[in-house]
């Protein structure tokens, strides 16, 4: 059973890479990242609600007395993660933002494990956990830096490197999230549209990136608490996505009222490939997997394995030019980074 959990975490990470890639098509069709994110989360919510009815889990939505209100708020992480990505990609760059997200995920998951926060079983700090976490951070850094070296000045927003797309692909998040995420392709769609800040402003954006990544494992832990209360994973996912969808819809409505984002173009959906709709399903599976896996294998192991799965899948997508993305052969740096990610995941899990 334990091996099955590990494989599920890797698969969930792979789905994030797929989600990030197909979301580029949805964002292109709709014309606004906020609109694409709202549509994706709405589709995921509808699919989960239908599944809840099918498996007889809809009754669990009638919460038992005594469920703390904040146990219902795990879905708030997804809009925060999505919005942070949209804000950070043009200001810090897609690659730097992706690195900050993963850094936040790793440190938050270690905090959950080491201190036993939010119902996560505490684990003492060991050399294996410390070395594994450092290897994961080093691996994502090597992947991102290596990918930045082959990025061309003429690269379009839709060609944002896969590490950036994958690391930002969760909902709730990214990793989160619905990791996160999310309209993973949404942030990339705004890359290069704003100047890069400096000084104190840049420090604030860096902090936002770390916090946005950190909320994803927190979301998984909070959703795990809710699942423990209602004893139904599908109903837990429905509640999380309903909260996320309502929140991002409010954000979209506010931005439309202020004239800060274009009005969604639904006509473009007619020419979008059918697999452009798969992002919501990937997000639903990822979110459900994380709050199921964190109590079973720990937050740090879940994050390490999902990040590794992200990068492995994105490497395959890039190398073969799948899902209408430009083909980018694997480089030695990226292979080295992937090796570090795998080694880090093994160390964290064996500790």
pLDDT digits (tens, 9 = 90+) for 187-238: 444 433 444 444 447 788 888 988 988 999 999 999 999 999 998 999 999 9
Contact partners, residue 337, CB within 8 Å, separation at least 6: 138, 139, 140, 141, 142, 143, 144, 146, 311
Average pLDDT, the chain: 81
Contact partners, residue 230, CB within 8 Å, separation at least 6: 60, 63, 64, 67, 236
Among 39-53, 118-132, 157-171, 315-329, which stretch is predicted with the lowest mean pLDDT?
Answer: 157-171
Task: Look at residue 148 in the predicted model and tell me its pLDDT.
Answer: 66
Contact partners, residue 336, CB within 8 Å, separation at least 6: 142, 146
Task: Look at residue 205 in the predicted model and tell me its pLDDT.
Answer: 86
pLDDT band at 153 (very low <50, low <70, confident <90, very high): very low
User: Three-state DSSP class for 180?
Assistant: strand
When pLDDT is averaged across residues 94-102 and rounded to a whole number, the result is 76
Runs of H (alpha helix) within the chain:
2-30, 33-54, 77-92, 94-115, 127-149, 162-167, 185-189, 199-230, 233-258, 278-297, 299-320, 332-350
CA 6, distance to chain mean position in Å, is: 18
Residue 152: pLDDT over 70: no
CA distance 122 to 115: 6
Could you read off the pLDDT of 61-96 as tens digits, one per residue? 888 888 999 999 999 998 888 888 878 877 877 667
CA distance 324 to 22: 9
pLDDT cut 70: percent of the chain above it: 83
Task: Look at residue 149 in the predicted model and tell me its pLDDT.
Answer: 66
Residue 146: pLDDT over 80: no
Question: The dihedral of CA 24, 29, 30, 36: what is its sign?
Answer: negative
CA distance 44 to 38: 10
CA distance 207 to 34: 22
Task: Look at residue 150 in the predicted model and tell me its pLDDT.
Answer: 60
CA distance 213 to 99: 9
When pLDDT is averaged across residues 123-128 and rounded to a whole number, the result is 86
Among 19-28, 89-98, 145-154, 273-282, which stretch is predicted with the lowest mean pLDDT?
Answer: 145-154
Per DSSP, 196 falls in state P
Assessment of whether the complete model's pTM goes beyond 0.85: no
| Range ranked top by mean pLDDT from 127-136, 243-252, 309-318 | 243-252
Per DSSP, 169 falls in state -
When pLDDT is averaged across residues 49-56 and rounded to a whole number, the result is 91
Residue 249: pLDDT over 90: yes
Task: Look at residue 125 in the predicted model and tell me its pLDDT.
Answer: 85
Task: Look at residue 315 in the predicted model and tell me its pLDDT.
Answer: 84
| Range ranked top by mean pLDDT from 135-139, 216-220, 308-312, 340-344 | 216-220
Contact partners, residue 108, CB within 8 Å, separation at least 6: 213, 214, 215, 216, 217, 218, 299
Task: Look at residue 351 in the predicted model and tell me its pLDDT.
Answer: 66
29 and 272 Cβ atoms separated by less than 8 Å: yes
**Interior angle at CA 176, CA 281 and CA 198, nearest 5:** 130
């Amino acid at each position: 059973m334990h091996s099955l959990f590990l494989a599920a975490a890797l698969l969930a990470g792979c789905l994030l890479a797929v989600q990030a890639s197909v979301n580029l098509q949805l964002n292109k069709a709709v014309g606004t990242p906020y609109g694409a994110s709202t549509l994706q989360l709405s589709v995921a919510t509808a699919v989960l609600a239908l599944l809840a009815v099918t498996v007889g889990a809809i009754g669990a939505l009638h919460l038992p007395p005594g469920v703390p209100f904040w146990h219902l708020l795990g879905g708030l992480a997804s809009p925060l993660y999505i919005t942070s990505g949209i804000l950070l990609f043009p200001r810090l760059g897609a690659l730097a933002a992706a690195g900050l997200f993963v850094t936040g995920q790793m440190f938050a998951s270690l905090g959950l494990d080491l201190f036993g926060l939010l119902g996560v079983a505490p684990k003492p700090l060991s050399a294996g956990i410390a070395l594994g976490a450092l290897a994961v951070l080093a691996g994502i850094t090597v992947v991102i830096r290596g990918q930045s070296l082959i990025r061309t000045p003429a690269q379009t927003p839709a060609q944002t490197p896969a590490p950036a797309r994958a690391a930002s692909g969760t909902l709730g998040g990214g990793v989160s999230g619905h990791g996160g995420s999310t309209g993973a392709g949404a942030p990339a769609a705004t890359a290069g549209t704003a100047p890069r800040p400096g000084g104190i402003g840049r420090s604030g954006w860096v902090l936002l990136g770390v916090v946005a990544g950190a909320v994803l494992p927190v979301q998984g832990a909070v959703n795990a608490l809710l699942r423990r209360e209602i004893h139904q994973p599908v109903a837990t996912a429905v509640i999380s996505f309903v909260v996320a969808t309502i929140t991002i819809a409010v954000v979209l409505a506010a931005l439309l009222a202020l004239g800060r984002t274009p009005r969604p173009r639904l006509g473009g959906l007619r020419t979008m490939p059918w697999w452009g709709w798969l992002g919501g399903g990937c997000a639903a599976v990822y979110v459900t997997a994380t709050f199921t896996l964190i109590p079973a294998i720990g937050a740090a192991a879940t994050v390490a394995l999902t990040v590794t799965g992200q990068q492995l899948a994105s490497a395959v997508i890039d190398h073969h030019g799948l899902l209408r993305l430009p083909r980018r052969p694997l480089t030695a740096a990226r292979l080295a980074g992937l090796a570090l990610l795998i080694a880090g995941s093994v160390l964290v899990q064996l500790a």
